[in-house]
Amino acid sequence: MESPSRRNVLMAGGALGALGALTAAAPAQASSLWTWSPKGSVAGAGEGADPKWVWDEVADPLVASLIDRGDVPKVNDLLKTWTKNGQALPAGLPADLRDFIEEARKLPSWADHGKLATAFEFNQKRGLYLGVTYGFASGMMSTAIPKEARAVYYSKGGADMKDRITKTAKLGYDIGTEKAFEPDGEMIVTCVKTRLAHAGVRHLLPQSPAWTKVADEQVPISQADMMVTWHSLPTTVMQNLVKWKVPIPAAESTAFLHSWQVTAHMLGILDEYIPNSWDEANAQAKQVLTPILAPTPEGIKLADILLNLGSVIDGGILTKGVLGALTRFLLGDEIAGWLKIQREPVWDTLITTLWPPFIAVREGILDLTKAPKELREIYWAFDEILRQAALFFLSEAQYPISIQIPTTNRPA
Ligand code: HEM
């Protein structure tokens, strides 16, 4: 089998990370009290309002109005041609939307292009680990984030998870590219389109009888929800890399965080909620992410669909068992149990046993060249499985993808 290129691995990382973002829904358990101080944010100050009651006060009324006045199909069509950060907007957009996008596409004053360039180096070097963790830590975790799981399940995209993943994959891919936030890149466009899609979901989901029955709030995707999902991505990924003792220079670690801080801002998360350091991110995640993780019927169904997609798409080594075992390894027995992931005696043991030497060989700590042939073969088979896992939805992410504003919920 041809070995996947770095670009492909990065793309797959994005695709899988996208899972995290895409499986967002409403918690079965009460959410925790907001006490995190804005002093620890990139803004350094703020009102400290509970983000559970803050949404997107600029995008939400605008998109609600676009939907209500029937402009969305035309807008989605026009925006397909807007792909590069530095590209002029297409002619014919409604004036209020044009004004919004011109404002929303501006990077924050604190964006640091040097750090963003270092983040690319990190993504290049760590593509495989990022692919696996975005997919099987962040992505699968999203099905255990109740608000995210429910919002995704009852929105239009919930009825076609393959399409959903493909679209969400775009964000995870774009953030890892060389010019992500530069005029030639596409990440700003992707973030702004996602911000519009989220505003559409905020307007539409409250009209879904199925969603309102299970939701514990009137409007989905609050700033708190967005930070929860954000932590399921970079914070969770970095926690795993640290746990595995992957050596990461401080500058690269900070740069990776920075690329996600800028992403948060571009998605419409207020600066006063975006952590300014890994310490602050870990503290906030402990408060907002860990306590809300819980199973929901919707999350269990989504997890099952996702694990089945591997074999449908690949038809090869990525069986449901392998993907389930990877999920169990990365998220632990409790979450795997919630998601009703079957135990896989062979794969569970293999992954747990092979992971430490796999990292050690990749990091140059363990030399396998003199090891018995059988051992080397097992190692390379494992390496291949992880590459395939990281490439999960690659083929789907290759054609031009345009994130769209939805006009409906999941069909009943
Ligand atoms: C759409 C990313 C937070 C629910 C999307 C899309 C992306 C994305 C890239 C476009 C893909 C598509 O249209 O299918 C993110 C990121 C987040 C985040 C990076 C946080 C950092 C959330 C949260 C929720 C959520 C917190 C719910 C609580 C949804 C839904 C859609 C969507 C329902 C539209 C699905 C559809 O109808 O097609 N998100 N998201 N997202 N997101 Fe998020």
pLDDT (tens digit per residue) in 333-370:
999 999 999 999 999 998 999 888 888 888 888 887 87
Answer whether residue 27 is part of any domain: yes
| Residue-wise pLDDT tens digits, 184-197 | 999 999 999 999 99
Which three-class secondary structure state does DSSP give residue 155?
strand
Q: Read off the DSSP letter of residue 70.
A: T
Say how far apart CA 16 and CA 397 lie, in whole Å.
10
Answer whether residue 83 is part of any domain: yes
Answer whether residue 246 is part of any domain: yes
- Ligand 1 centroid, distance to 6 Cα (angstroms): 26
| Residue-wise pLDDT tens digits, 375-391 | 788 888 788 777 776 66
Answer whether residue 356 is part of any domain: no
With a 6 Å cutoff on the Cβ, whether 14 touches ligand 1 is no
Say how far apart CA 4 and CA 384 lie, in whole Å.
10
Band the pLDDT of 244: cuts 50, 70, 90.
very high
Range of the domain at 252: 6-292
Yes or no: say if 206 and 155 are a contact pair by the CB < 8 Å rule. no
Instruction: Please choose from 163, 168, 289 the residue to mutate so as to test ligand 1's pocket, defined by most ligand atoms within 8 A of CB.
Output: 168
Which three-class secondary structure state does DSSP give residue 317?
coil
Atom 14, ligand 1: residue with shortest CA distance:
164
Burial of residue 317 (number of CB atoms within 10 Å: 0-12, 13-18, 19+): middle
With a 6 Å cutoff on the Cβ, whether 406 touches ligand 1 is yes
Q: Per the structure, how many domains does the chain have?
A: 1
Answer whether residue 341 is part of any domain: no
Q: What mean pLDDT do residues 110-138 have?
A: 91
- What are the angstrom distances between the C-alpha of 38 and each of 2, 34, 42, 48, 376? 49, 11, 8, 6, 50
User: What is the share, in percent, of the chain residues with pLDDT greater than 70?
Assistant: 87
pTM of the entire structure?
A: 0.90
Question: Tell me, what's the pLDDT at 340?
Answer: 97
Reference 120, options 181, 61, 52; nearest CA is 181
With a 6 Å cutoff on the Cβ, whether 230 touches ligand 1 is yes
Question: Tell me, what's the pLDDT at 312?
Answer: 58
Question: Tell me, what's the pLDDT at 107?
Answer: 98
φ/ψ of 89, rounded to 5, equals -70, 150
Contacts by residues 313-320 (CB-CB < 8 Å, ≥ 24 positions apart): 313/162, 313/392, 313/393, 313/395, 313/396, 314/388, 314/392, 316/388, 317/384, 317/385, 317/388, 318/385, 318/388, 318/389, 318/392
Answer whether residue 226 is part of any domain: yes
Which three-class secondary structure state does DSSP give residue 275?
strand
| Residue-wise pLDDT tens digits, 296-305 | 999 999 999 8
Answer whether residue 372 is part of any domain: no
For the chain, the average pLDDT equals 87
User: Amino acid letter at 207?
Assistant: Q
User: Who wins on pLDDT, 395 or 201?
Assistant: 201
Reference 339, options 357, 327, 321, 326; nearest CA is 327
Q: What mean pLDDT do residues 265-290 have?
A: 97
Reference 364, options 198, 273, 247; nearest CA is 247
- Ligand 1 centroid, distance to 47 Cα (angstroms): 26
Answer whether residue 398 is part of any domain: no
| Residue-wise pLDDT tens digits, 149-192 | 999 999 998 888 877 777 777 888 889 889 999 999 999 999 99
* CA 301-306-309 angle, 5° bins: 125
With a 6 Å cutoff on the Cβ, whether 101 touches ligand 1 is no
Type and span of the H or E element at 246: none
With a 6 Å cutoff on the Cβ, whether 225 touches ligand 1 is yes
